[in-house]
Amino acid sequence: MPRVVLSGNEAVAVGVKLSRVNVVAAYPITPQTTIVEKIADYVEQGELKARFINVESEHSAMAACIGAAAGGARCFTATSSQGLLYMGEMVYWAGGARLPIVMAVVNRALAPPWSIWCDHNDALSLRDAGWIQMWAESVQEVLDMMVLAYKVAENERVLLPVMVNLDGFLLSHAYEPVEVPTQETVDLFLPEKRPAPYWIDVVDPKSYGTIASPDTYMEFRFKLQAAMDEAARVIEEVDAEWSRMTGRSYGGLLELYKCEDAEVGLVVVGSWAGDAKEAIDRLREKGVRAGVIRLRVTRPFPSRSLASVAESMDAVAVVDRSLSPGLPSVLLSEVRNALYDNGKKPYVKGFIAGLGGRDVTPLDFEAAVESTLKAKEDGGSRVEWLGLKGGRDVC
Amino acid sequence: MSVKSLPKEEYWLPGHAACSGCPASLGLRMLGKALGGRFALVVPAGCTTVIQGTFPRTPSRVPILNIAFAASAAAASGLKAAFEVRNLDVPVVVWAGDGGTVDIGLQALSGAAERGEDILYICYDNEAYQNTGIQRSGATPIGAWTTTTPFGKRERRKEAPLIVAAHRVPYVATASVAYPLDFVEKVKKAASKRGFKYIHLHAPCPTGWRFPPSKTIEVGKAAVETGMWVLYEVENGLLKLTGRSTGLWDPAKRKPLEDYLKLQGRFAHLFKPENRWMLEELKKHVDENWSRIRATLERGGRLF
Ligand SMILES: Cc1ncc(C[n+]2csc(CCOP(=O)(O)OP(=O)(O)O)c2C)c(N)n1
Ligand code: SF4
Ligand SMILES: [Mg+2]
């Protein structure tokens, strides 16, 4: 397999090309822009046979993807931050309509104040939209995840849109050497789209998205949930298939680092898992048996796998790159929720960190783990802000 | 040609949920006949969402992609792109209300027009947000009562067809459900062209305009005969009056505006002395509109 140096955003574009996407609709926003530029280039050069719809907004980008998917095309869009919020109505529409659209979200903080730097609040705001949410750690994973996303989305047992999240700048603009799968490999893995029940067809005309009375609406939602449950299984199957073909496996819903004998776990999402792993190595040198649990997928939330990994741990630190004011950590709540029903559950402490691109180092992760172990002993606060100026404010 | 000469085949079936005398369902029937039932519809929120009835039934024999209120022109662009990449030669038609067109959907409409998407966009204009209970829209004429303009709208309406024509698209037309043959001809002509086509269909709504359901056609005709509504085409930037509007630039040939206004409850208050100014303003707008049309025609019809 050819090895080339790519940025995260370039890896998205290569993934789109390898997946033979045939309709792209997108609108530029930092730090997503280079994806759109690269794809426009592929289309102009004839390297990707696709219609590129230069829409006038993100709302229209997703609307165009919905039309394209309903018309039987394999389609793609990408956005960040304000763009994702602006698109919000249509993001829900795509999820409810069960259309296998893939969207790259280059995660960026929300205004005000304006910030172009990374955090996860943009994607978090749409966690209930009926989209599978995947999160990459490396440029290689971004590329693989793009192809896997289509495979999962189009699976007849799933039929759900997939959001591939990559951290703004930290991943989107970071260059790494990656193995690019050959077109033959991807073609074998991801065959051309087959006619699906949701395709708009003049020969067999149906009306989609009509009004559902209280008599029928709930079943649509139930099926959406059932598709999510199924997606959890399909993601694991697809990961295994990809591993057989390329030798690269990511562990499906969770990636575990040194968790076998770990007494304390560190739960993270996204590119800073690398720093988290470094922190774990240092903690182990100090004699703390710690491990990283990286959530690769947050919808469907990997509750069962998480509970079974955490079962043997005494404590878990959850470091969240988003904030739900008034909660304040969604990731913490979701992790706790996943563990609650399990007979044996660890002590859990949450951390809010890295908002608006605030730097987080391996030392911070180390401190988070130590603070969790300490809180377990002396019953300290359950949520802490990491790297907050003026000391560690506690709520 | 008469209405009887239109194809007998129906693509919009009885049993739908529209009010009686509904201009939208009438227009949809004509549209199906004009295109022989081989097209896909994109429908944003509005009365047409409701008149389709509830899942799992549909009165439509053409496929419909229902979509969010602001999204129809963009969704249609995507649908058409999919048909193109699949080498399917199927027309994509947007069927949107005036609110979904001149207000919330204007951005997507403008984007699609500017990109030259190969779609036909039809706005059925019942001059208010009827579905949510008769609120004013940017297409509600000055003076008209709606639930959000309880004493009559103070502002003049937007000229959506001219806004679209300013995008220099190949075909823009106005039509009225009261003149089905004119409408059908325009749909056919639009469908024969590549690129972005726009038809603005006047759709007198008995429920919202406060007239008896049996008078939809009568009201629609009165709108045209009094010059309140103008039937025209803009083909490659050239303006041309069509059908019953031909020659009406001569004020002597137009019926008095009152003939149209008095048919409808929504204008009843205009005849009270204190509202005289609104009536005068409305008349002034109609005259201005015709002077502009006349001037354009005298210049050879070139709008853009
Ligand atoms: C984003 C959004 N805002 C508001 C609504 C509520 N809404 C539904 S239909 C409608 C009015 C539709 O008016 P128009 O487009 O003129 O169509 P009509 O009902 O008159 O046929 C409104 C305001 C909505 N569905 N979506
Ligand atoms: S309110 Fe008017 S446009 Fe809407 S369904 Fe009734 S008659 Fe038709
Ligand atoms: Mg309306």
Nearest CA to ligand 2 atom 6: B19
Residue B59 has pLDDT above 70, yes or no: yes
Residue A393 has pLDDT above 70, yes or no: no
Sheet with A383-385: strands ordered across: A254-257, A290-295, A264-268, A315-320, A347-352, A383-385
* Cβ neighbour number for residue B183 with a 10 Å cutoff: 26
8 A C-beta contact, residue A89 and residue B68: yes
The answer to whether position B57 is within a domain reads: yes
pLDDT digits (tens, 9 = 90+) for A213-262: 999 999 999 999 999 999 999 999 999 999 999 999 999 999 999 999 99
| CATH number of the CATH domain containing A175 | 3.40.50.970
- Token digits for A284? 């182990």
pLDDT confidence band for A334 (50 / 70 / 90): very high
Average pLDDT of span A358-385: 95
Identify residue A5 by its one-letter amino acid code: V
Average pLDDT of span B115-143: 98
The answer to whether position B144 is within a domain reads: yes
Closest partner residue to A205 (CB to CB) among B61, B71, B81 is: B61
The answer to whether position B263 is within a domain reads: yes
The answer to whether position B81 is within a domain reads: yes
**Ligand 1 pocket check for B126: Cβ under 6 Å:** yes
Tell me which of B85, B87, B95, B110 to substitute to probe the interface with A (most A C-beta atoms closer than 10 Å).
B85
pTM, 2 dp = 0.97
What's the pLDDT at A1? 67
What's the pLDDT at B274? 93
| CATH number of the CATH domain containing A307 | 3.40.50.920
Which positions 294-333 of A are in contact with B (Cβ < 8 Å)? none
pLDDT confidence band for B242 (50 / 70 / 90): very high
Nearest 5°: phi and psi at A35? -65, -50
End of a domain among A246, A280, A306? A246
Owner of token pair 């990997």 = A302
Chain A nearest-CA distance from B262, in A, is 36
**Residue A369 to residue A347: CA distance in whole angstroms:** 12
Pair (A73, A116) in one structural domain: yes
What's the pLDDT at B303? 93
In the three-class reduction of DSSP (H, G, I as helix; E, B as strand; rest coil), residue B99 is classed as: helix
What's the pLDDT at A391? 59
**What is the DSSP track for A58-123?**
HHHHHHHHHHHHHTT--EEEEE-HHHHHHHHHHHHHHHHTT---EEEEEE-PPSSSP--S--SHHH
8 A C-beta contact, residue A359 and residue A170: no
**Ligand 1 pocket check for B72: Cβ under 6 Å:** no
pLDDT confidence band for B2 (50 / 70 / 90): confident
What's the pLDDT at A184? 97
Pair (A298, A153) in one structural domain: no
A132-135 and A297-299 beta bridge pairing:
antiparallel
Residue B256 has pLDDT above 70, yes or no: yes
In ligand 1, which atom is closest to the CA atom of B125? 16
Residue ranges lining ligand 2, Cβ < 6 Å: B 18-19, 22-24, 47, 51, 126, 130, 205-208
Pair (A262, A367) in one structural domain: yes
Average pLDDT of span A276-298: 98
The answer to whether position A96 is within a domain reads: yes
Q: What percent of chain B has pLDDT over 90?
A: 98
Chain B environment of A75 (Cβ under 8 Å):
78, 82
Q: Which of B19, B28, B101 to mutate to test the pocket of ligand 2 (most atoms within 8 A of CB)?
A: B19
Domain count, chain B: 1
The answer to whether position B255 is within a domain reads: yes
Pair (A190, A271) in one structural domain: no
**What is the rounded (10 degree) CA torsion for A47, A51, A54, A57?**
-120
8 A C-beta contact, residue B29 and residue B60: no
Owner of token pair 């280059």 = A106
What's the pLDDT at A170? 98
Instruction: Decide if A210 and B77 are in contact by the 8 Å CB cutoff.
Output: no
pLDDT digits (tens, 9 = 90+) for A108-141: 999 999 999 999 999 999 999 999 999 999 999 9
Residues, beta carbon < 5 Å, ion ligand 3: B 97-98, 126, 130
Average pLDDT of span A317-338: 97
Q: What percent of chain A has pLDDT over 90?
A: 94
pLDDT digits (tens, 9 = 90+) for B84-95: 999 999 999 999
Pair (A240, A260) in one structural domain: no
Note down the domain range covering B78.
Answer: 3-298
A254-257 and A290-295 beta bridge pairing:
antiparallel
Report the range of poorest mean pLDDT among A193-197, B228-232, B280-284.
Answer: A193-197
CA end-to-end distance (rounded Å), chain B? 32
pLDDT digits (tens, 9 = 90+) for A150-195: 999 999 999 999 999 999 999 999 999 999 999 999 999 999 888 8
Pair (A188, A318) in one structural domain: no
Q: What is the mean pLDDT of chain A?
A: 96
Chain A environment of B79 (Cβ under 8 Å):
67-68, 70-71, 200
Pair (A110, A45) in one structural domain: yes
The answer to whether position A391 is within a domain reads: no
8 A C-beta contact, residue A365 and residue A276: yes
Closest partner residue to B81 (CB to CB) among A68, A208, A216 is: A68
End of a domain among A246, A266, A283? A246
Residue A206 has pLDDT above 90, yes or no: yes
Pair (A65, A92) in one structural domain: yes
Residue A394 has pLDDT above 80, yes or no: no
Pair (A221, A318) in one structural domain: no
Pair (A73, A202) in one structural domain: yes
8 A C-beta contact, residue A150 and residue A19: yes
3-state helix, strand, coil in chain A (%, to 5): 40, 20, 40
Which positions 18-77 of A are in contact with B (Cβ < 8 Å)? 22-23, 25, 49-51, 53-57, 59-61, 63-73, 75
- Token digits for A185? 């490999």
**What is the DSSP track for A332-361?**
HHHHHHHHHTSSS--EEEEEE--GGG----
Residue A144 has pLDDT above 90, yes or no: yes
**Residue A364 to residue B92: CA distance in whole angstroms:** 55
| CATH number of the CATH domain containing B24 | 3.40.50.970
**Residue A307 to residue A316: CA distance in whole angstroms:** 11
Burial degree of A195 (CB within 10 A; 0-12, 13-18, 19+): exposed
Residue B108 has pLDDT above 70, yes or no: yes
Chain B environment of A54 (Cβ under 8 Å):
115
- Token digits for B267? 């204008």
The secondary element (H helix, E strand) that includes residue A162 is strand A162-167
The answer to whether position A393 is within a domain reads: no
Domain count, chain A: 2
Residue A392 has pLDDT above 60, yes or no: no
Pair (A239, A265) in one structural domain: no
Note down the domain range covering A360.
Answer: 254-385
Chain A environment of B39 (Cβ under 8 Å):
202
Pair (A263, A175) in one structural domain: no
The answer to whether position A154 is within a domain reads: yes
pLDDT digits (tens, 9 = 90+) for B139-185: 999 999 999 999 999 999 999 999 999 999 999 999 999 999 999 99
* Cβ neighbour number for residue A282 with a 10 Å cutoff: 15
Instruction: Decide if A25 and B77 are in contact by the 8 Å CB cutoff.
Output: yes
The answer to whether position B303 is within a domain reads: no
The answer to whether position B267 is within a domain reads: yes
How many angstroms separate the alpha carbon of residue A136 from the centre of ligand 3? Answer: 46
The answer to whether position A124 is within a domain reads: yes
Chain A nearest-CA distance from B179, in A, is 28
What's the pLDDT at A381? 85
What's the pLDDT at A195? 84
What's the pLDDT at A25? 98
The answer to whether position B304 is within a domain reads: no
Q: Which chain B residues touch A if contact means CB-CB below 8 Å?
A: 38-40, 42, 49-50, 52-56, 58, 60-68, 70-86, 90, 107-108, 110-111, 114-115
Chain A nearest-CA distance from B118, in A, is 12
The answer to whether position A390 is within a domain reads: no
In ligand 2, which atom is closest to the CA atom of B23? 8
Q: Give Cα A173 distance to the centre of its chain.
A: 17
End of a domain among A189, A213, A246? A246
Nearest CA to ligand 1 atom 21: B47
